[in-house]
Structure 1
């Protein structure tokens, strides 16, 4: 039992990983644990709108493990343009360490879900990636572009980075978001 307790207490460290976007109506930045919880519920809510039918339990588990590597690496804003290969290698080392702490190979299932999310080849992974890309943008839309303005992120950079994965995994979500992003641009909610 101690190994499981140690594992879940290690996961508690995800609460200390600060992201670049603020929760709605709160003057602090969200943490990665909050992000994972929120997108898991968003995915459960939108699963019926996935591009192809998905196993929602698999999607939710994938979303709960996808950022665990940030315990060791910290968060990187999705709009970062360089260093992704090194970052993903560091995250793989982190999740291998963390999931490897579970006894009797029980962490292999979590590691497989993490890898599936990263490769984005299954319907579940495409849908999970869509939801993961959408949530920070939805928060920015609710916060008048807070993170985009603070980090100098231009409208086209947002559309180019999040549009394809959202459209691939949940076309209805992208159909909703695209005009919202256009309206935000007209309001000046993006950086230069």
Structure 2
């Protein structure tokens, strides 16, 4: 994350006087998170020849939670889980993506993303800033059934996109089918049924030659962000 000044988007066209201070802060935050639409992921879209962005990814996860909640191994509050997936990647506005298999880039990931959370959520009124930070921490720590299911959706969604792309980022040099299985196994922490289905897709993708067979590397340098 750069230390250079990061002007707010709202400064381009400041709000007029007379707007309540609390609402002004909330609107400022809502304008600022428009940046999420510019953060590209590695996952390919199914419906177009381009990569998805973080906002599209978050929307897709919210739909997945809504439709697939019945497969959670533990009861979950759907609304709270939707909140978790909608905000989990907001910090990437300032922290950027961290390549999944790039060990060097991952060294300071927690520090960068924590600082980004403080900066972004700090735009909100104090009570909402605290609430959003608590939600973000809950997702990161996976300490609740909702957070575990949210993380499972975060791993399942790119799996579906890569299946439709006949491999997609599974074909990244240095990444094997075993690497994919290892990274996706977290799905099973929330849903044995969805992990069984996901494992079936990975296995079939390997059989079709959409991913490399062989031992998992776990520390490759391919730079893939989402598999």
Q: 5+ unaligned residues in a row in structure 1: which ranges?
A: none
Q: Is 1:142 aligned to residue 148 of structure 2?
A: no
Cα offset, 1:153, TM superposition: 2.1
SS of the residue corresponding to residue 21 of structure 1 reads: strand
Partner of 1:92: 114
Task: Pick the structure with more helix per residue.
Answer: 1
Partner of 1:182: 203
Q: State the 1:72 CA deviation.
A: 0.8
Aligned to 2:155: 133
Alignment of 1:72-87 (within 5 A): 72-87=94-109
Partner of residue 20 from structure 1, selected from 33, 37, 42: 42
Q: Deviations over 1:17-56 (max 9, x none)?
A: 0100111031111001110110111011111111100011
Alignment of 1:39-54 (within 5 A): 39-54=61-76
Structure with bigger gyration radius: 2
* Aligned length, in residue pairs: 191
Q: 1:161, CA displacement in angstroms?
A: 1.1
Relative distance call for 1:176 and 1:158 in structure 2 (3 A) is same
TM-score (norm 2): 0.80
Where in structure 1 do 4 or more consecutive aligned residues deviate above 6 Å? none
Determine if contact 1:101/1:107 at 8 Å carries over to the other structure.
yes
Instruction: Decide whether the 8 Å contact of 2:206 with 2:212 is kept in 1.
Output: no
Instruction: Report whether the alignment pairs 1:4 with 2:22.
Output: no
CA RMSD of aligned residues (A): 1.5
Q: 1:166 touches 1:174 (CA, 8 Å); kept in 2?
A: yes
**Separation (CA, whole Å) in 2 of partners of 1:191 and 1:13:** 35
Give the unaligned 5+ runs of structure 2: 1-22, 214-227
Task: Identify the match of residue 103 of structure 1 among 122, 125, 132.
Answer: 125
Partner secondary structure for residue 108 of structure 2: helix
